[in-house]
Structure 1
Amino acid sequence: MMNVVTPADTILPAGSVLYVEEPEVAERNDAAGKLAALDCVRELVTWEYQVPGAAERFHDEHPDEPVVAVIPAMEYAVPFAARLAELYGVPGATLTAAETLRDKGRLRAVTAAAGIANPASASVASPDDVRAFAERHPGRIIIKPSNRQATIGTWIIDGPGAIDEAWTAAIAQDESMHVPDRGLPLRMLAEQFVTGPEYSVEMLVHEGRSRFANVTDKVLFDGPRPIERGHVVPADIPDPLHEALVAATARVAGAVGFRSGFLHCEWIVAADGTPYLVECAGRLPGDMIVLLMEYAWPINITSRYFDVMQGVDPGPAQAAAAAACAVWFLAVDAGVVECVDGLDDAADVPDVVRVECLVAPGDEVHELRSSWDRAAYAMSWAPTPEEAREAAELAIAKIHVKVRELP
């Protein structure tokens, strides 16, 4: 939530933001306390926005709000924000586009029909369904939820013998800090696994036209869960590949009918050079990527985004980043944190601009199950992508989280 509203505090007028959050999620995350420190926030409204008709009910209770923009602060808010924008008559993704982006299976069908490369994919409801899919598509496969975020419930399967274990692990989708107690319906997909380097395209769209595009290089942790270990902005790739990824993302926007907002579209480039769609979100990216772009590009990305959401065309951005940024994350073993060392040493690495530990002594931590389980990060800013990555990797290697095994 804070990756959107915190930078807004330097851009938007005091008392201009009405922040809407699910009641249980707001309480668990101390949303009131965090938002109270921001001048731009007028009020926290707790609202069950992830249920059918939530936007219509909100609009009925707040018909006279002088709304000029509706911005989704996290993945699960994308359809609500899009519908609310329609009701208040301000720019947005469109509800149709938002609902397509929130459903990975529907996104596959829509984009494949538009000629965009997708791996084979099918809805599955049991290990037997996964086995049937694996028989039809020999080789590595991946199972994932169609309606989750942060790599929750995603598992790479190397062979039929691993299906039962993978299914049990994948359907244990613990995201209690970010979803209400009523939870989300279990909707799983099985897909062919595409091998190749992974990238994301961050695109600002105004009335169907791209006004900014960045390509991020993504590196994953080893293991069966494809959780992101690091990001480099901009990706150090040949111009033709950069252009192909940006063009493919623009085609996704057109296929789903996306009008105005931010797209975070993930791709895997196969051995023959074809970009295969992984997924696409209709919101600002997480994982510190917004901050990476703010450092690397000499323009205020967030300000341009807010302009677009208020109906202002910011014009096309400059063609290239002026510097490079990287962020690298730390994984730890499961247990209880005893102590954290090396933060000062990490911060002293040349070109490192930010270091943060996300756990503290006494916290119970887990092996990597999703992006939420990472324990620390280091961010760097350097003249080139290679230098930025080297600095971030060196810094994160200096952070040590001592963990005691649980009895």
Structure 2
Amino acid sequence: MTRPVLLVGFVGVALTALLPVLGEDSVVFVEEPDVVRKRDVRPKVAESALVRELIEWEFHLPGKADEFYNAHRDLDPAAIVPLTEYATPFAARLAERYELPGAGYGAALILRDKALLRQVSAAAGIANPQSVAVSSPADVVAFMRGCPGPVVLKPANRQASVGTQVLADPADAARAWAECVVQDEGVFVPDRPMDLRMLVERFVSGHEYSVEMLVRDGESLFANVTGKQLFPGPRPVELVHVVPADIDDALTALLTAQTLKVIDAVGFQDGIVHCEWIVADGVPHLVECAGRFAGDGIIELIQRAYPVELNRCYFAVMRGEPLPEVMPRRAAGAAAVRFLSVETGVVQDVRGVEEATRAEGVFLCDVSVEKGDTFTGLRSSWDRVGDVMVTADTPAEALRRAEAAVALIEIDVRPLASP
């Protein structure tokens, strides 16, 4: 029997997306017991040809990687890969114990903590927004008085924009604090409480990008710059991703070089990073950097736009194998994803999904709400109600096609009754 690949953190789409890459009976999933129960994971993996075994393990907790290693020394994995943000430290430490390629435990801990990442990257000369740890609305008000203009209140250790909000008036600090500290991620996290640490930062106004970089021994093997747009409003939730970003070569090179500086600053070794930036007055300011696959379908956009089998190349790196193909330096085409949201209320009707699916360039169209569903507001990435993915010859055309397809979808919502 071949050595398994250990995937930490259950992601449903992996069951089909990774089957052509890894083959049948090749994967052992590791997931928190509460999440296995709440997401009904066992029957899903039982039906998948990809999965050999599911191991329930409280991997969020300290010391659990070393405990896992001692309990499963004979597992002999070929690679250890985090599929979710919260899985990255466990996967990195476990890779060290099995002597496999990985981010490095120290690097993973820094990338998981936005406050630590600010501290470490700033010392390396990387531009960061002014930022302080806060423990109360009074702390937020004190920061705002010394830092005129809008600020961002955010958790130091969450994912998917959970608990993040932009505010401009100190009088709103108490309300924003009450909203932001409610960080219920539902079925995606264990039932036990998670540590709450909040930051307040100066709001940086500018164009937003992310860099997806495949790394071996701290060196870049492949890099892409993605352009980003946000939904309007105080919650910084992604509305659009375009691959590659519609920018000149100089800015592409600058963002790539700054991402390499982050990798060097934290000591990241092997894997893939998703590093987010805001460019203001020509200067990239670091937002955050994740030591894992990018979400929001960005990897699929990259694979279609370049094209490149990035999944296959990534797993080669994590196995310590040669790359299966020459990595492209430029995209041959473009791709985009456009997300959907609706007004707060009860969904009355959903129309136009089939028409959008048939629209020019569309290769995926998904709407997750139906008649009778209640939508309580856009607070994080988990709250978006659908997405459309397209390909095109240029970034501008990809964006146009995505917007045109979304315009075909109509979702009627009845406002909630006033209390």
SS in 2 for 1:130: helix
Residue number among 184, 187, 190 corresponding to 2:194 in the alignment: 184
Letter in 2 for 1:103: D
Q: Is the 8 A contact 1:260 1:308 kept in 2?
A: yes
CA distance in structure 2 between the aligned counterparts of 1:194 and 1:328, rounded to whole angstroms: 23
In structure 2, C-alpha distance between the alignment counterparts of 1:248 and 1:37, rounded to whole Å: 43
Write out per-residue CA displacement over residues 79-116 of structure 1, whole angstroms, 9 at most, x where no aligned residue. 01001111111000000000000000000000000000
Cα offset for 1:398? Answer: 1.6
Structure 1 match to 2:127: 117
Instruction: Give the Cα separation in 2 of the matches to 1:58 and 1:359.
Output: 39
1:323 aligns with 2:327: no
Which residue of structure 1 lines up, in the alignment, with residue 30 of structure 2?
20
**RMSD of the TM alignment (CA)?**
1.3
1:212–1:316 contact (8 Å) kept in structure 2: no
Counterpart of 2:46 in structure 1: which amino acid?
A
| Bigger shift: residues 327-336 or 207-216 | 327-336
Tell me if the contact between 1:231 and 1:326 (Cα under 8 Å) persists in the aligned partners. yes
Report the Cα offset of residue 28 of structure 1.
1.6
Partner of 2:227: 217
- Cα offset for 1:16? 1.6
AA in 2 matched with 1:276: H
Aligned to 1:158: 168
Alignment pair present for 1:286 and 2:302 = no
Percent identity over the alignment is 50
Cα deviation, residue 316, structure 1: 6.1
Which residue does 2:246 correspond to in 1?
236
Structure 2 residue matching 1:2: 3-state secondary structure: coil
**Structure 2 Cα separation of the partners of residues 359 and 345 of structure 1:** 17
In the alignment, residue 17 of structure 1 is paired with which amino acid? V
Show structure 1 runs of 4+ deviating over 6 A: none
Q: Residue type matched to 2:308 in 1?
A: I
> Equivalents in 1 of 2:162, 2:149: separation in Å?
23
Partner of 2:366: 356
Q: Distance in 1 between matches of 2:304 and 2:47?
A: 24
Q: What corresponds to 1:261 in structure 2?
A: 271
Mean Cα deviation higher: 369-378 or 344-353: 344-353
Paired residues of 1:211 and 1:316 also in contact (CA < 8 A): no
Paired residue for 1:306? Answer: 315
Q: Does 1:33 align with 2:53?
A: no
TM-score (norm 2): 0.94
Matched residue type, 2:309: N
Q: Which amino acid aligns with 2:320?
A: G
Residue 5 of structure 1 deviates from its aligned partner by 4.7
Shift of the alpha carbon at 1:11?
Answer: 1.2
Moved more, 382-391 or 174-183: 174-183
Q: TM-score by structure 1 length?
A: 0.97
Q: Where does structure 2 lack aligned partners over 5 or more consecutive residues?
A: 1-10
1:369 aligns with 2:387: no
Match of 2:7 in 1: none
Question: Post-superposition shift, 1:212?
Answer: 0.8
Amino acid at match of 1:172: V
Rounded to whole Å, the distance in 1 between the matches of 2:251 and 2:358 is 35
Superposed counterparts of 1:3-14, under 5 Å: 3-14=13-24
Q: What is the distance in 1 between the residues matched to 2:247 and 2:264? A: 25
- The one-letter amino acid of 2:321's match is V
Count of equivalent residues:
406
Secondary structure at the residue paired with 1:355?
strand
Mind listing any 5+ residue stretches in structure 1 that lack a counterpart?
A: none
**Could you tell me which amino acid in structure 2 is paired with residue 340 of structure 1?**
V
